[in-house]
Amino acid sequence: MKKVEIYTDGACKGNPGPGGWGVVLIYGKQRKELWGGEANTTNNRMELTAAIQGLNALKQPCQVELYTDSQYVRKGITEWMTNWKKKQWRTASGSPVKNSELWKLLDEACQRHQVSWHWVKGHSGHPLNELADELANRGVLEPSSGV
């Protein structure tokens, strides 16, 4: 099984407002950059979209090390999702899970791969996280150019 690293980030100018997502995929010495965006969205939606797009870009099942600076995404997928699914996509308080359609897409994308989730502090100088951030900001300006 191929081993791939994925770095993801989301950006939003206003929350809600125009947003973008960015992805850096690393396989051996190969690197691929993806970005996109939406006219009216939120930062959390763009963070989720980045992870979905990164995983869906893989053409076959892979062993993935996925890096995000979003605790919302990392904790959602590793800690909260199991209970959301048991409760029919409701939170512990009984309210609907926000962005459930994206969480479902992320869950589906994860099923095809072996994914290990990692949190990296945003804007801390990590080169590939900084690149994902640049791509996400590019996605705000060029919503459909990098897919």
Identify residue 111 by its one-letter amino acid code. Answer: Q
- The predicted-structure confidence for 27-83, as pLDDT tens digits, reads as follows 999 999 999 999 999 999 999 999 999 999 999 999 999 999 999 999 999 999 999
Q: What is the DSSP letter of 121?
A: -
Active site residue 139: no
Tell me how far apart the alpha carbons of residues 122 and 72 are, in angstroms, rounded to a whole number.
Answer: 13
Active site residue 113: no
Domain 2-141 has CATH 1.25.40.10: no
Choose, from 47, 54, 113, 146, the residue flagged as catalytic: 47
Active site residue 107: no
Strand 30-41, strand 62-68: pairing: unpaired
User: Phi/psi at 109 (nearest 5 deg)?
Assistant: -65, -35
Domain boundaries, the chain: 2-141
pTM of the full predicted structure? 0.95
**Tell me, what's the pLDDT at 52?**
98
Structure tokens at 26: 């690393």
What is the rounded end-to-end Cα distance, in angstroms, of the chain? 25
